[in-house]
């Protein structure tokens, strides 16, 4: 019996499970975007899942935490170079979506979209649906956006805006962001930087994508009656928001591009199958079954 082979097999099966769950999640997103008909705002009359396309209108944008842009939504992520384990890698420290309520205007009418604020400290993720393998954010890696609490923000141009070396003084905006967002935590000090030739341990990258007034936007969410609604419902009586257990997608990408992006789930399924076969074979050989 080879404990090493069995251990390798178990690890491969775990990664296969992550890939399979990720593929299932992307499959669900792709099917929802492709299968949900777009509703004109003027035709909003009922509560439930709805797909809308229009232009963002807002008189109350905020300064996004990393770019400092006037925005109604900021999707952000913080990752840090870590050399403490058996491999050197970028690890996600935290990610989130900050948003303020805005109006979506499609030319037929206007409706309020209230996404709320959602933040994830990836170091505390324990469930398989977190899809965090060694703290790598798979959604960003595959360019499908930031996903927190069922809210996916797929923003075109989502990129690393600021890089901060360890032991360096961050820009004032980054300092304020870290101080105000407890999930991010303080930056790691250097430990091996005297001999580092590449990235220094503790180096950070701050990613962000924003949506601003005037941007065209796609929203797949849940329509509910506002607290002041009268019946029968009209667009001004409705708020589009995330609800627990349902997928919420907001993006400045065309619907066809979203379907294509989420449609990459087939690669995740293929990877899961290959890893599962390899894992089972490793365990079998390790146990002396074959």
Q: Which helix (H) or strand (E) element contains residue 255?
A: helix 255-262
Residue 192, pLDDT above cutoff 50: yes
Q: Is residue 204 part of a domain?
A: yes
Residue pair 38/52 in contact (Cβ under 8 Å)? The answer is yes
Q: Which residue has the higher pLDDT, 90 or 88?
A: 90
pLDDT at 132: 44
- For every residue of 167-224, DSSP letters joined together read TS---HHHHHHHHH-TTT-PPPPPSSTTT-SSSPTT-EEEEEEEE-TT-EEEEEEEEE
Residue pair 51/220 in contact (Cβ under 8 Å)? The answer is yes
Distance (Å, rounded) from C-alpha 94 to C-alpha 138?
Answer: 13
Q: Is residue 69 part of a domain?
A: yes
Give whole-number Cα distances, 130 to 44, 150, 168, in Å. 33, 10, 31
For 121-135, 237-251, 271-285, which range has the lowest pLDDT when averaged over its residues? 121-135
- What is the total count of domains within the chain? 1
Predicted confidence band of residue 131 (pLDDT cuts 50, 70, 90): very low
Other C-beta atoms within 10 Å of 180: how many? 9
Residue 140, pLDDT above cutoff 70: no
Residues in a beta bridge with 18: none
Which domain range does residue 123 map to?
Answer: 39-258
pLDDT tens profile 212-254: 999 999 999 999 999 888 889 999 999 999 999 899 999 999 9
pLDDT at 109: 97
Residue 26, pLDDT above cutoff 80: no
Cβ-defined contacts of 124-128 (< 8 Å, 24+):
128/17, 128/18, 128/21
Predicted confidence band of residue 134 (pLDDT cuts 50, 70, 90): very low
- SS3 state at 34: helix
Q: Is residue 109 part of a domain?
A: yes
Q: Is residue 5 part of a domain?
A: no
Distance (Å, rounded) from C-alpha 42 to C-alpha 45?
Answer: 8
Residue 141, pLDDT above cutoff 60: no
Per-residue burial over 104-142, b if 16 or more Cβ lie within 10 Å, else e, is bebeebbbbbebeebbbbbeeeeeeebbbeebebbbbeb
Q: What percent of the chain has pLDDT over 70?
A: 81
pLDDT at 58: 97
Return the top range by mean pLDDT from 16-25, 40-49, 225-234, 261-270: 40-49
Q: Which residue has the higher pLDDT, 14 or 27?
A: 14
Q: Which of 119, 90, 124, 111 is CA-nearest to residue 47?
A: 111
Q: Is residue 128 part of a domain?
A: yes
Q: Which residue has the higher pLDDT, 122 or 134?
A: 122
Beta pairing class for 159-164 and 118-120: unpaired
Q: What percent of the chain has pLDDT over 90?
A: 42
pLDDT at 240: 98
Residue pair 194/166 in contact (Cβ under 8 Å)? The answer is no
Q: Is residue 12 part of a domain?
A: no
pLDDT tens profile 195-210: 555 567 778 889 999 9
Residue 16, pLDDT above cutoff 80: no
Distance (Å, rounded) from C-alpha 211 to C-alpha 73?
Answer: 5
Average pLDDT of span 137-143? 57
Q: Is residue 76 part of a domain?
A: yes
Predicted confidence band of residue 17 (pLDDT cuts 50, 70, 90): confident
Residue pair 202/81 in contact (Cβ under 8 Å)? The answer is yes
Q: Is residue 210 part of a domain?
A: yes
pLDDT at 231: 86
Q: Which residue has the higher pLDDT, 120 or 239?
A: 239
- DSSP-derived secondary structure letter, 114: -
Residue 86, pLDDT above cutoff 90: no
Q: What is the average pLDDT value for the chain, to the nearest integer?
A: 83
Residue pair 38/53 in contact (Cβ under 8 Å)? The answer is yes
Name the token pair of 1: 């019996």
């Amino acid at each position: 019996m080879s404990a090493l082979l069995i251990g390798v097999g178990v690890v491969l099966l775990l990664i296969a499970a992550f890939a399979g769950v990720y593929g299932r999640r992307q499959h669900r997103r792709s099917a929802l975007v492709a299968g949900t008909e777009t509703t004109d705002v003027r035709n909003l009359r009922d509560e439930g899942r709805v797909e809308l396309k229009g232009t963002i209108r807002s008189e109350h944008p905020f300064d996004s935490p990393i770019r400092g842009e006037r925005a109604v939504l900021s999707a952000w992520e913080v990752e840090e170079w870590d050399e403490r384990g058996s491999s050197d890698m970028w690890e996600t420290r935290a990610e989130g979506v900050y948003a303020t309520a805005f109006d979506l205007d499609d030319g037929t009418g206007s409706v309020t979209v209230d996404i709320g604020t959602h933040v994830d400290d990836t170091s505390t993720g324990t469930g398989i649906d977190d899809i965090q393998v060694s703290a790598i954010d798979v959604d960003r890696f595959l360019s499908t956006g930031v996903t927190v609490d069922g809210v996916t923000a797929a923003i075109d141009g989502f990129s690393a805006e600021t890089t901060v070396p360890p032991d360096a003084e961050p820009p004032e905006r980054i300092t304020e962001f870290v101080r105000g967002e407890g999930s991010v935590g303080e930056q790691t000090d250097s430990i091996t930087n005297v001999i580092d030739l590449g990235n220094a341990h503790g180096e950070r990258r701050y990613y962000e994508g924003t949506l601003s007034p005037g941007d065209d936007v796609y929203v797949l969410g849940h329509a509910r009656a506002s607290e002041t609604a009268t019946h029968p419902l009209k667009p001004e009586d409705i708020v589009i928001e995330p609800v627990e257990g349902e997928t919420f997608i907001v993006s400045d990408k065309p619907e066809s591009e979203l379907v294509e992006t989420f449609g990459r789930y087939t690669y995740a399924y293929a990877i899961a199958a290959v890893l599962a076969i390899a894992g089972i074979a490793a365990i079998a050989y390790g146990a002396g079954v074959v």
